[in-house]
Chains A and B, each alone.
Chain A
Amino acid sequence: MKDSLLALRSFFVSIRLTVVLLVLSMLLVFVATLDQVNLGIWAVQEKYFRSLMVYWTIPGGGLAIPVFPGGYLIGGLLLANLICAHIYRFKLTWRKAGLQMAHAGIILLLLGELFTGLWQRESFLRMDQGETKSFSESFHAVELVIMDTTEPDSNRVVAIPEAALADRPAVQHPNLPFRVQIKTYYPNATLQMRAQAVAEATASVAVATMGAGTQLAMIPLPITYKHNERNTPALLLELSGTEGSLGTWMASVQLGAPQSFTHQGRTWEIALRPKRYYHPFAMTLMKFSHDKYPGTEIPRNFSSMVRLRSDDGQDDREVLILMNTPLRHRGQTFYQAGFDNNDTTTILQVVRNPSWLLPYISCVMMFVGLLLQFGQGLAGYFRRRKGLSTAAAS
């Protein structure tokens, strides 16, 4: 028993393990880089880095077999190896301080990446000039919302997240006077005029009896991973009140405006839209600027002049967000990410990452640590040289 524990320990602190894992990680990163040409950055991250194993699908067979350790496995083992070796070989001496510090920096960096993967939330905020928004929207996730819009100045919203839609649930909610039954759900689908779809027989025409969907058909598409395309989910849902079915609606991200109907004297709206994250403050785009270098189309700068007002009245100020100069406010960071509509619409990337500071700390630790370590080596070399030359002289 003791022997096997010792063997386990020497396995985890061994420098051979470090070398093997490093070489494996190099291969992984290299192959993943090549595969980006086929899969795009997003899918590559899922397949190679955010996985325990990299699977290879046998062509034609559809059977996936693990062929290589994935990022989480290599990274996890490397982290274990690093921490074990760190503890096992830790000695508080001046000579070792640099190395210890550099390796502690790497541990912090790896942990920081892990935390980022767990906690980071990216969304975007798209505003036309003059528009005010207090929420940002998800790049990938969608939500089904059913809103009571009867009151002119406040809406009551019930949102069902995308993850729940795929199970085609039946939802009963205290804020809704009816039950919601998801009947069909496609993670990616396009819309076509129903008459045309019937004529071309491109889709099995599932029927919506109410709203815009009565004219349309959903055509399911394969899920895309390309970085310049996004999935556009679509679904059919049925609402039923106490006296039976109210009808079937179609909802899709491709439908621009929400569909409204009245029920028991109140106005309701249904929409499938990018998932929203509400902030305790509102932003208004005052002006978007897009400067170019004279006589060229090369962009010189993009910037958004934004008015920021918090709900609690603490803040009311104008901020300029530009390339390389983001706004950090209440745990969120707003970056100038893009523009649209002839330079009258700005797109800000909104990132919440509680662990954003870790890489900064680890960078300093690694730099100082390595500098200390190699500096000592260099100093030792010069001392020896001096010793040699004085010896030669005497």
Chain B
Amino acid sequence: MKKYLPLIVLALALIYLGSTLREPESRPPFDLTAFGRVPVLLNGRIKPLDTVARTSLLTLQGRQKVVTPDGSRLSPGEWLADVLFYPEKADTYRHFLIENGEVLDLLGLRPEDGDGGKRFAYLQLRAKAPELERQGRLAEAVETPLRTPFQRQVITVRTRVILFLRLKASVLLPDSADTHAELLALQKELPLGTAAMQAQGRGEPHDAERIKTMRTLANRFAYMEQLGYLRAVPPEPGNGDPTQWATLGGVMQESLLSGKIHPRALAYASMGDAWRKGEAERFNGITRQFHDELEGRYASAMRKSDVEARFNAAGPFYSSMVLYVIAFLFGVGSWLTWADSLRRSALFLLTLAFVASTVGIFTRMWLEGRPPVTNLYSSALFVGWGAVLICLVLERLHRNGVGSVAGGMIGLATLVIAHHLSMTGDTLEMMRAVLDSNFWLATHVVVITVGYSATYLAGFLAIIYILRGVFTRSLDRATSDALMRMVYGVVCFATLFSLTGTVLGGIWADQSWGRFWGWDPKENGALIIVIWSAVMLHARLGGLVKERGFMGMAVFGNIVTSWSWFGTNMLGVGLHSYGFMDSAFFALVVFVGSQLAIIAISALPLDRWRSFKAMV
């Protein structure tokens, strides 16, 4: 058993990873997989409906899981189909996350009415929607840093409700019991209406009643055009301009002039009708038709859209997270018993988790056509990835489980951070003009992020040293020497990358706005990391600190790096404040507190270190 354990673990982990790659489950008879792959234009890029569904869910409620009031579970695709086509049902889904008691009071809700006490349905808050709108506008007038938690939550909830209303206005006509039937009837009437309007324009006799009907229609289409979320209608064949993708409301406005209803509008209405009536055959047929039409024209966008839907379903970062946890546990276990067998199992798991993360990161890079780090979310992925890569090398060199434990810990922590950062919506964002430079994204951003990885890794290795030394007897001379060498080596590595990355950032700034250094908070944050690395190296060189002091300093590096990575963004000033998030502030404070506690522990006198007692 002991001997074969690593192989068994490896086989199980491979089976687990393989299982995530299966063709995602399609709820027959509806082919929701194909539906999820229908591309639309949103936020500047062509993306599959599956991504729209998942990112909308994350924005609305912070998770992708939806449970209907009768207790059945919906896939993101099913949920989106209901929101787009069956709003009566979607209105009952409790998918609005509201986490503030005052906001609940404002909306007349009680926690016990909600799913888990904090998720509510549109039906429940509809009555108080005007009040939410009013309070939201009041709160928006206040500068961001000065807003109270109530004001912040009001704005967030209002944004969530607006997103939901915009999704609902994408396909269905407002105030229509049956959009499809109405459009079919309109198809016959419209030429007469258009003719009447033209007659009126020429000052000839015309049917006043028809003109009135046309006016009402125009208002309803305008509502859809203004509010509608999805740009679902590609431009005419031959027109490759992506800015020309239109909303269904937009093409229907045009139909008032042309007298002909756009086939896409009819097709979407028919699709909705089929979904409502449970006619899977028709639904699937229209989905196929969409694919066939777009396949030739947007071959590469369609391929990306397909891969993205598969990528969403496979969730490689989630699988990595699971494997990192187990790798960490096995690694720690190897210090207590079954040393070799558990250690190798942990290394296998860490390697597989790393492979899954790598595949995920490369897929994102290919989808986006960008270097790995483009926003805060992807920086979290990459910090973890870089640290784990160094851990794999360390584990290969030292074979003492330390690499697996540190790798598991950092891999997990960074993926959890990334998960929380993904709540704001689609993480494959368009790059603002200032940041739109693949060369600098690939050099400055990558190098500085590797610097973060290394500084964190040094800190976590030091934590292992301190906790093992103080609380266990397992830190023998060989292990503590090895850890010291590891931390020192990683700090050197961190210095090299932080320094080069920071200076490269200065050069980018010089290239793009003419200042090498502007004392922007993010620049200062990076500078502080560099200075701290230099302090550590010089303090050790000058004999100001010995082994334990150096470890304490390495832990302080975690604080310095977190400040640079997140703290500076919380200041909300400067060119780099692209990811302002105040909810993370609390987490940051807790983390800093924990690191200070560990540094305090490291300062305990030698005779309180269980591992070193014998030596004193």
List chain A positions with a Cβ less than 8 A from chain B.
Answer: 14-16, 18-19, 22-23, 25-26, 29-30, 32-34, 36-37, 40-41, 44-45, 49, 109, 112-113, 116, 122, 292-296, 298-302, 323-324, 326, 333, 335, 337, 349, 351, 353, 356, 359-360, 362-363, 366-367, 370-371, 373-374, 377-378, 381, 385
Contacts and interface: CB of A to CB of B under 8 A. Distances in A.
Given A18-B538, A36-B574, A323-B512, A49 B519 contact: yes
Given A23-B535, A294-B41, 16 more contacts: A14-B542, A15-B544, A33-B571, A41-B573, A294-B44, A295-B42, A298-B430, A300-B430, A326-B511, A326-B512, A326-B514, A359-B510, A363-B504, A367-B499, A370-B495, A371-B496
Given A16-B544, A33-B525, A296-B44, A122 B436 contact: no
Contacts of B44: 292-296, 298, 300
Contact of B243 (A25, A294, A381): A294
Nearest to A378: B489
Contacts of A45: 519
B436 A324 contact: yes
A363 B433 contact: no
B532 interface: yes
Contacts of A323: 433-434, 436-437, 512
A299 B433 CA distance: 6
17 contacts: A15-B541, A16-B544, A18-B542, A29-B524, A29-B531, A37-B145, A37-B572, A122-B515, A294-B241, A295-B41, A298-B430, A301-B433, A360-B507, A363-B503, A363-B504, A367-B499, A374-B492
Contacts of B525: 33
Interface of B is mostly: helix
B24 interface: no
Given A41-B520, A293-B44, A295-B41, A26 B528 contact: yes
B580 interface: no
A104 to B, nearest CB: 14
Given A45-B519, A301-B436, A22 B538 contact: yes
Given A19-B542, A381-B485, A335 B513 contact: yes
Nearest to A22: B535
Nearest to B568: A33
A370 B500 CA distance: 10
A206 B458 CA distance: 67
B507 A293 contact: no
Nearest to A290: B433
A353 B525 CA distance: 25
B513 A337 contact: yes
Contact of A293 (B43, B434, B511, B538): B43
B45 interface: yes
Contact of A324 (B440, B499, B535): B440
Contacts of B542: 14-16, 18-19
Contacts of B531: 22, 25-26, 29
Contacts of B242: 294
B86 interface: no
B205 to A, nearest CB: 42
Contacts of B510: 356, 359
A43 B353 CA distance: 48
Interface string B95-128: 0000000000000000000000000000000000
B74 interface: no
Closest 5 CB pairs of A and B: A293-B44, A15-B542, A351-B514, A294-B243, A363-B503
A30 B500 CA distance: 20
A299 B499 CA distance: 31
Interface in B139-188: 145
Contacts of A349: 513-514
Nearest to A49: B519
Interface in B257-307: none
B192 interface: no
Interface in B413-434: 429-430, 432-434
Interface string B459-490: 00000000000000000000000000100010
A302 B493 CA distance: 38
Interface in B539-595: 539, 541-542, 544, 563, 568, 571-574
A367 B515 CA distance: 21
B601 interface: no
Which of A40, A294, A371: most chain B Cβ within 10 A? A294
Contacts of B512: 323-324, 326, 335
B516 A295 contact: no
Contact of A300 (B397, B436, B524, B539): B436
Contacts of A22: 531, 534-535, 538
Contacts of A300: 44, 430, 433, 436
A26 B553 CA distance: 14
B301 to A, nearest CB: 12
A26 B433 contact: no
A19 B539 contact: yes
Which of A44, A295, A351, A381: most chain B Cβ within 10 A? A295
A103 to B, nearest CB: 10
A363 B515 CA distance: 16
Contacts of A40: 573
Which of B511, B515, B519, B563: most chain A Cβ within 10 A? B519
B56 to A, nearest CB: 16
B231 interface: yes
B316 interface: no
Contacts of A359: 503, 506-507, 510, 516
A90 B548 CA distance: 31
Contacts of A381: 485, 489
B130 interface: no
Contacts of A25: 531
B389 to A, nearest CB: 16
A301 B433 CA distance: 5
A369 to B, nearest CB: 10
Given A19-B542, A41-B574, A294-B242, A351 B515 contact: yes
Contacts of A32: 519, 524
Nearest to B499: A366
B521 interface: yes
Given A295-B243, A337-B513, A29 B538 contact: no
Interface string B223-259: 0000000010000000001111100000000000000
Contacts of B362: none
Nearest to A29: B524
B517 interface: yes
B29 interface: no
Nearest to A45: B519
Contacts of A44: 519
B527 interface: yes
B518 interface: yes
A19 B540 CA distance: 10
Nearest to A42: B519
B535 A30 contact: no
Contact of B492 (A34, A295, A377, A385): A377
Nearest to B514: A351
Nearest to A23: B535
A32 B525 CA distance: 11
B521 A36 contact: yes
A359 B506 CA distance: 8
Contacts of A351: 514-515
A210 B434 CA distance: 47
Contacts of B563: 30
Nearest to B502: A363
Contacts of A113: 516-517
A362 B503 contact: yes
Given A15-B542, A29-B531, A295-B44, A366 B503 contact: yes
B507 A363 contact: yes
Contact of B430 (A116, A296, A324): A296
A109 B535 contact: no
A10 B557 CA distance: 29
Nearest to B230: A295
